Amino acid sequence: DADVTQTPRNRITKTGKRIMLECSQTKGHDRMYWYRQDPGLGLRLIYYSFDVKDINKGEISDGYSVSRQAQAKFSLSLESAIPNQTALYFCATSHPTRSPNVLTFGAGSRLTVL
């Protein structure tokens, strides 16, 4: 099994629908992140969490929310999806002291909003 698992891997939805992307990890890492990848823009940070009670906005958090249900689980929600949220979404984890800021990425969730 992958260290960082994202579900679903692909999703097509319509404008206005609520969408949840889920991430679970077996690395035992405290820190978890959600990034969005768009062609020509690289990866941009949406939200990050350093432990279960800690949630922080990244550079592009508008239109998104997150929930850290447990150390191993971090979900990203789009309350009302819009077409410009069509992108590839990555979850990542890191350990705060071992190899600081080396991220382990999931395989990605491709979201298309029609």
> Residues interacting with other proteins, by CB under 8 A?
4, 33, 35, 40-45, 48, 58, 90, 92, 99-103, 105-108
Q: Which is nearer to other proteins, 54 or 79 (CB)?
A: 54
In the complex, least distance from residue 15 CB atom to other proteins, rounded to whole angstroms: 26
Q: Which is nearer to other proteins, 37 or 71 (CB)?
A: 37
Q: Which is nearer to other proteins, 65 or 104 (CB)?
A: 104
Task: For the chain, give the secondary structure using H, E and C.
Answer: CCCEEEECCEEEECCCCCEEEEEEECCCCCEEEEEEEECCCEEEEEEEEEECCEEEECCCCCCCEEEEEECCEEEEEECCCCHHHCEEEEEEEECCCCCCCCCEECCCEEEEEC
In the complex, least distance from residue 23 CB atom to other proteins, rounded to whole angstroms: 11
Residue 21: CB atoms within 10 A of its CB come to: 24
In the complex, least distance from residue 90 CB atom to other proteins, rounded to whole angstroms: 6
Q: Which is nearer to other proteins, 84 or 101 (CB)?
A: 101
